[in-house]
């Protein structure tokens, strides 16, 4: 099962979508856009997990597909 993480940069001015917490796959200006893309990737590569992280890298929400 692949894990896609959505995490902000240092000042939350951009959001990263990462696969398996490696190098960022994509960078988005809006949190909602990053979440939507991570969800799309997880659904296309099911089974998958989307983890949404806060600025301290704590999981604040998890979705399974």
Strand pairing class (15-19; 59-64): unpaired
Q: What is the pTM of this model?
A: 0.87
Helix (H, G, I), strand (E, B) or coil at 37: helix
Rounded Cα distance, 50 and 44, in Å: 12
Dump pLDDT digits (tens) for 46-61: 999 999 999 898 999 9
pLDDT at residue 21 in the model: 67
Query: pLDDT tens-digit profile of 17-46?
Result: 999 867 777 899 999 999 999 999 999 999
Q: Are 58 and 44 in contact (CB under 8 A)?
A: no
Conformational region of residue 32, where left means phi above 0, alpha means psi within -120 to 50, and beta covers everything else = alpha
What's the pLDDT score for residue 15?
95
CA–CA gap between residue 65 and residue 30 (Å, rounded) = 22
């Amino acid at each position: 099962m692949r894990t896609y993480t959505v995490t902000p940069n240092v000042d939350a001015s951009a959001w990263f979508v990462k696969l398996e917490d490696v190098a960022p796959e994509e960078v988005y200006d809006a949190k909602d856009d990053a979440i939507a893309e991570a969800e799309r990737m997880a659904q296309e590569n099911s089974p998958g997990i989307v983890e949404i992280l806060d600025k301290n890298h704590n999981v604040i929400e998890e979705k399974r597909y």
